[in-house]
Structure formats: C-alpha cells, structure tokens
C-alpha cells in the first residue's frame, strides 16, 4: 500500500488531469498543533489529505513549502517577496513527523458529494503542477492555513457557507498572534518591533482563519449548502499529546531589560554625580537603536512586508540616533546636539506616558529600553554645549 501510494505521488505531476476517485474516497482537512521548537511552528499547520484505498491514494497536500534554490531566494525573502508553493507527499510520513514532535493531529473528514470530491482533487492536482504551484505568501492573508479555506471556496463557491457567528471575541491580528507566543517572548517581541500599525487592525471572523486552529473551528461551523448538511462529516483525533508545562527561562525580556535599566540608572546617577558622561555607553546605545530604526524604516518603505508599514516603534527607535552616535565620537560637538537630546527627552517621555493609548500596541517589554533612552537623553541635554568637551569621558 505504501509503495503504491509513493508511486502514485511520483506520477502526480506527470498528468494534467487527476485520477478519478472512487465512491469511498475521502478528502480531509488536517490541523497540526503548534510546537515551540521554532517561531514559525508556534502557530500550527494546516493541510489537505486525500485518501482513496481503491485507487491507492493517501496524499498530504502541503501549502507551506518554500524552495531555497529559487533564484535570489534570500534577497526576495528580505524584500518580502516570499514565494511559497504547494507540494504533495505521502500522508503517513508527515503524520509520523508531527507525532514525533509531539504536535496534535486533528482530521476533519469533509462531507462532500462525489462530484465535489473530484472537483477539489482536480484542483489540487492542477495546483501542484510546476507552472501552478507557487504563490505569493503573506503572513496573515495568504498562508498555509488560508489556502485551505480558499481552495474550498474557489472550487465549491457558494456551495459552502462558513458561519462566523460563533466567534465572540474582538481580537486584532496582533492579539491573535500573541495568543500563540506566550512561551516565545523574544519572538513575540521581534514581531511587535518589526510589524507596525496594520497588525492592530481588528480582524474579521474571516481573517481569523490565518491561524490553523481557526481553520479547524471554522470548518466545524461550516455548511455544505449543496446537500444541506454540516461540511465536516467526521472528526478524528489522530494524535493528542500530553500538555507540557512551559519551562522558566532566566533570559526572559523582563529580566534582561530590567537588569539593563538598573545598570543604566546606576550609570546615569554616577554620571550625574561626577558631571562626567559615559561616552562609550551613549555611543553604543544610540548607535544600536538608530540602526534598528533604519531597519524598521527600510522594512516599511523598501520592502513588500505590508504589515511593517506605519510602525510606531520609530517614535523611540529614531534612525537619526545612529547619526548622533557618530557625532558623539567627534572631538568637536555641534551646538544642535543639546537641542537634539532635549527633543528626544520630550518625545520619549510623551511616548512612555501615552504607551497604552497609541493606535499601535507597543510591546510592554520595551518600556525599560525606552526608559534607558529617556535617562541618557535627559542627562545629555543637561550639559550645555560649552561643557561638552569636558563632559565626556572615554
């Protein structure tokens, strides 16, 4: 059986027309649970399964594949031009992979007519042909989960109705991603820094389906209008691992940034007492934050990462900080430097005081870092330009 299934898969791309399924064929939606091994795997995964014992078919259709051998892959990845593709594999291999990594597997066997099954199978075979298999990936609107919904809607059109009234929450897209990143605070922080205001859009129930869990629940609440019955005929729990307790890590952002704030506060107090600024620290701080600001600006303006637009993190990660860091290394300090730090002090203080009222939800882990920027900007603007030559120590 396994050998015949593999032989079938090897020949899938050789035919423009799909094999005719038998009456007993089954088409399922598979939902695989998340794992904290990698950031991308923390959200789970979705796929199709086509099973026909008479035709020796047991195929796993995966829309989450990318090819490192694509021309200019890394450049396109950085620019946000992510070309993903769909591939077909033997189901048992992928089932065993997810079980090995302790990720749950839920199978929803769809309640379809023979004609509907064949239509979906025809589409999947068409889709894995080399000329059709690539698509432009989007984190939230066109990914491995939304493709499951879109294939069904594209093929069956009005014959399927998704009832979204079961969703009672009013989450934004950022809220939805946060639900899956409690065990990955650094990954959550990175996403919140790099992605801007579009993440804070209130998600419609339809948009919830960028997450595999909501694909599963949405199919549970869908109807096959053509036959007047629920779209899911049977739900099978293929594998359900025991829940694991989240481990404690000392390098949590609160701890790391809390120590950073404490050290910076002590250094600033010492500088204040000695009237002697720590040049090395200010250069390192403002250069690092300025370079981050330049990266955020480039993500917004020069890439196709749509979710990186209108990023309010640029209110504290000013790209101009990188220029100021270079100026601080010069022996002759320009007069505008004190004014710059005064403006930075005011802007940073306003940002911290309005943190929870901004249109974009900024990550609370960043508050100690922004506090450090405020402290160093404040002590720098305390000194007049005429004292700059003696104010800095090496």
pLDDT digit of tens for each residue in the chain (394 aa)?
A: 443 444 455 455 555 567 999 999 999 999 999 988 888 789 999 999 999 999 999 999 999 998 766 666 556 666 667 889 999 999 999 999 999 999 999 999 999 999 999 999 999 999 999 999 999 999 899 999 999 999 999 999 999 999 999 999 999 999 999 999 999 999 999 999 999 999 999 999 999 999 999 999 999 999 999 999 999 999 999 999 987 777 778 889 999 999 999 999 999 999 999 988 999 999 999 999 999 999 999 999 998 889 999 999 999 999 999 999 999 999 888 889 999 999 999 999 999 999 999 999 999 999 999 999 999 999 998 865 444 445 555 4
Radius of gyration of the chain (CA): 27
Report whether 32 contacts 100 (CB < 8 A).
no
- Of 119, 129, 108, 109, the closest CA to residue 16 belongs to 129
pLDDT at 75 (0 to 100): 62
- Report the alpha-carbon distance of residue 10 to residue 16 in Å, rounded: 14
Q: For the CA atoms of 35, 211, 355, 379, what is the dihedral angle to 10 degrees?
A: 40
pLDDT at 189 (0 to 100): 97
Sign of CA dihedral 245, 251, 254, 259: positive
pLDDT at 388 (0 to 100): 47
Residue partners of 367: CB distance under 8 A and separation at least 6: 352, 355
pLDDT at 304 (0 to 100): 86
pLDDT at 4 (0 to 100): 40
The separation between the first and the last C-alpha atoms of the chain, rounded to the nearest angstrom, is 74
Report whether 52 contacts 27 (CB < 8 A).
no
- Report the alpha-carbon distance of residue 349 to residue 353 in Å, rounded: 6
Residue partners of 43: CB distance under 8 A and separation at least 6: 34, 177, 180, 211, 212
Report whether 232 contacts 119 (CB < 8 A).
no
Report whether 317 contacts 196 (CB < 8 A).
no
- Report the alpha-carbon distance of residue 288 to residue 292 in Å, rounded: 6
């Amino acid at each position: 059986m396994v050998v015949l299934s593999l032989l079938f898969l090897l020949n899938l791309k050789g035919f423009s027309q799909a094999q005719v399924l038998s009456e007993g064929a089954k088409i399922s939606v598979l939902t695989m649970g998340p794992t904290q091994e990698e950031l991308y795997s923390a959200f789970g995964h979705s796929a199709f399964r086509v099973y026909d014992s008479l035709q020796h078919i047991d195929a796993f259709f995966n829309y989450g594949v990318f090819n490192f051998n694509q021309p200019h892959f890394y450049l396109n990845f950085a620019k946000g031009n992510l070309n993903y593709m769909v591939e077909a594999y033997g189901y048992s291999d992928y089932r065993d992979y997810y079980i090995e990594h302790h990720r749950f597997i839920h199978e929803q066997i769809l309640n379809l007519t023979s004609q509907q099954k064949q239509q979906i199978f025809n589409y999947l075979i068409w889709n894995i042909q080399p000329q059709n298999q690539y698509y432009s990936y989007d984190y939230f609107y066109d990914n491995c989960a939304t493709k499951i919904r879109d294939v069904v809607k594209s093929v069956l059109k009005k014959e399927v109705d998704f009832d979204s009234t079961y969703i009672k929450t009013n989450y934004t897209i950022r809220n939805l991603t946060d639900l899956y990143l409690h065990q990955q605070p650094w990954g959550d922080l990175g996403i919140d820094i790099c992605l801007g205001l579009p993440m804070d859009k209130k998600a419609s129930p339809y948009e919830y389906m960028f997450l595999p869990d909501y694909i599963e629940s949405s199919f549970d609440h869908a109807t096959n209008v053509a036959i007047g019955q629920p779209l899911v005929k049977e739900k099978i729990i293929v594998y359900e691992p025991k829940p694991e307790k989240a481990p404690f890590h000392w390098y949590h952002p609160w701890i790391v940034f809390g120590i950073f704030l404490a050290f910076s506060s002590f250094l600033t107090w010492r500088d204040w007492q000695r009237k002697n600024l720590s040049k090395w620290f200010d250069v390192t701080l403002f250069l690092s934050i300025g370079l981050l600001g330049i990266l955020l600006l480039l993500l917004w303006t020069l890439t196709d990462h749509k979710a990186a637009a209108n990023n309010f993190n640029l209110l504290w990660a000013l790209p101009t900080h990188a220029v100021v860091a270079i100026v601080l290394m010069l022996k002759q300090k320009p007069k505008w430097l004190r004014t710059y730090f005064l403006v930075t002090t005011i802007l940073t203080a306003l940002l911290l005081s309005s943190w929870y009222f901004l249109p974009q939800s900024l990550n609370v882990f960043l508050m100690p870092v922004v506090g450090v920027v405020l402290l160093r900007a404040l002590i720098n603007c305390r000194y007049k330009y005429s004292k700059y030559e003696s104010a800095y120590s090496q």
